[in-house]
Amino acid sequence: MQHHQNPWQQRAFKVLKQYYGYDSFRPGQGEMIRTLMEGRDALAVMPTGAGKSLCFQVPALLMEGITLVVSPLVSLMKDQVMTLVANGVAGAYLNSSLNERQMEKAIRNAAAGKYKIIYVAPERLLTKRFQEFVQQAPISMVAVDEAHCVSQWGQDFRPSYLDILPFLEGLPHRPVVGAFTATATPQVKEDIIRLLGLISPQEVTLSFDRPNLFFRVMEPKDKKQALWQFISGHEGQSGIVYCATRRAVEEVAAFLSDQGISAAPYHGGMEHALRAKHQEEFLYDRVQVMVATNAFGMGIDKPNVRFVVHYQMPKDMESYYQEAGRAGRDGQKAWCLLLYQKKDVALEQYLLRHRKDLSHLTEEEQAKVTQAEQERLKQMVWYCKTKGCLREYILEYFGQKAPRQCSACGNCLHYFRTEEPTGLDMAQKKAVDLWQSREKKLGQYEDHPLFLRLKEVRKTLAHQAGVPAFVIFSDRTLEAMTEKMPQDRDDLLHIPGVGQKKLLLYGDAFLQAVRTYLRDR
Ligand code: ADP
Ligand code: MG
């Protein structure tokens, strides 16, 4: 009998290719998969866009039995399951968006072993019906996505995440548990391990640097004017504008619409159905710009967001980096602009005082929380005022080292308060060149006629299937097709992002487009 060092490793690569159409793992993925496959708990601290989902989806496909994925938001679950199913994986979700009959049907299917991966809202875990199911079902792994939601130190504390530990303890066999987050502060990490009851977990922490994001702070006299100018320079590109208040959201959205820019508002004060509609329009690229409060957020896995503008300074660096980080999830170049004015500080002070109900805490605890908030706000203001490298500032805030030459932030390029780089010395000139050459490389097929044609094909297919375009193929995959011009199915399988299922469903349509292009060129 032949012995392999890691008998599952070959299968992992096979699954990666077959379902996702990728040839290699990204940093950290291999280690997370190995750890979970070996039956050991694991905690992944990886920035947004690093590819955390694959870290639990691949082992889920390799293991016997069912994997449960605890996820905090309905929209997040829907997107992820849609993407999974498009890749040919048997997945489903259980959350409040299903009515009683749909829920019953989904659970019955699950009990019949029809799903390999089930996304579940934390509120479901201890319900009677779900318990009936899990007590009988072979649950081999539980993946806790956005695991920082369990911590009160984090931004997104969800009390129902505290149900996860009793849930695990109540299972007939304790499954292996993987926790995933993009929030790295030591307190949050400690909380995750303790409150989820992870058993001597393997920790995998990645750099928080996002080299494809360009950071910039401006202090314009007229924010609306600055915003309009910025968005005009990003015609047809998907973007988010974050505002601190609902009123600002309405105002800015109306302003942009008046300027002929396709924009829609999103905030907690809107009727649920309208909010959902706007989110969907944005997701499906029918609306270019989403103007939103931070209520618009965690569920946004849209990979092709090209810019995130903060119309007002957020309350802390955690919020800022999380929100700004929604840009460029596909690895392509994207812009993060913060429009700062001194009065933003007073506004945030006011919001901090009125936002949180601390009455359930003791006086001493209240004082502590308030002090921590003030400290975080101060650090945020410093970010807006620093003349040093913005990337370095961000990474140091999260306890990480920055690359020596950033060359992709407004301060390094001396864009700080002026529109154009002026008076650059040699080093800065070099930095500009570097950034511009990288910029070229990242978007070199943007206007290519074949790329545009492939986008059309994708749009048609997405429309027919009733899914957002990125569920069919990412921009990156279409760029690779433009570069490689695949002639047959075999060629196509070599394009990153093309797996077996998508080859069957969509392969011919794209091959046809390439052939037509080559013939008519
Ligand atoms: P996270 O949850 O860490 O923010 P996701 O799991 O949503 O990130 O993945 C972000 C994007 O990266 C997705 O479009 C995914 O398909 C892509 N991706 C993940 N792993 C790989 C890989 N090994 N090779 C290429 N693309 C990958
Ligand atoms: Mg994720």
pLDDT of 33-67, one tens digit each? 999 999 999 999 998 778 999 999 999 999 999 99
Q: Angle 128-133-139 (CA atoms, 0-180°, nearest 5)?
A: 125
Question: At 287, phi and psi to the nearest 5?
Answer: -120, 135
318 falls in which pLDDT band (50, 70, 90)? Answer: confident
Q: Which of 23, 53, 56, 332 to mutate to test the pocket of ligand 1 (most atoms within 8 A of CB)?
A: 53
CA 298 to centroid of ligand 2, rounded, Å: 9
Pocket of ligand 1 (CB under 6 A): 22, 25-26, 29, 46, 48-54, 301, 303, 329, 474, 496
Residue nearest to atom 9 of ligand 1 (CA): 51
Strand duo 117-120 + 91-94: pairing: parallel
Q: Considering only 162-171, 231-240, 336-345, 349-358, which range has the smallest mean pLDDT?
A: 349-358
Least trusted range by pLDDT, from 193-202, 254-263, 360-369, 375-384 = 360-369
Mean pLDDT of 133-146: 96
Q: Are 307 and 334 in contact (CB under 8 A)?
A: yes
Closest CA to 474 of 281, 279, 301: 301
Ligand 1 pocket: which of 15, 16, 22, 58 to mutate (most atoms <8 Å of CB)? 22
Backbone angles phi, psi at 259, to 5 degrees: -85, 5
Q: Residues 198-210: pLDDT tens digits?
A: 999 999 999 888 8
Ligand 1 atom closest to the CA of 80, numbered from 1: 7
pTM of the model: 0.74
Confidence band for 428, pLDDT divided at 50, 70 and 90: low
Q: Report residue 32's pLDDT band, with 50, 70 and 90 as the boundaries.
A: very high
Give the closest residue to 384 by CA, choosing from 444, 342, 427, 330: 342
CA quadruple 203, 207, 210, 215: dihedral positive or negative?
Answer: positive
Q: Identify whether the C-beta of residue 482 lies closer than 8 Å to the C-beta of residue 454.
A: yes
Q: Which amino acid, 10?
A: Q
pLDDT digits (tens, 9 = 90+) for 70-120: 999 888 898 899 999 999 999 999 998 999 999 999 999 999 999 999 999
Q: Has residue 191 got a pLDDT over 50? A: yes
Mean pLDDT of the chain: 89
- pLDDT score for 258: 96
Which residues lie across from 240 on neighbouring strands? 290, 308
Q: What residue owns the CA closest to ligand 1's atom 26?
A: 22
The predicted pLDDT at position 429 comes to 57
**pLDDT one-digit tens code per residue, 390-407:** 999 999 888 787 777 677
Per-residue pLDDT for 176 more than 60? yes
pLDDT of 300: 66
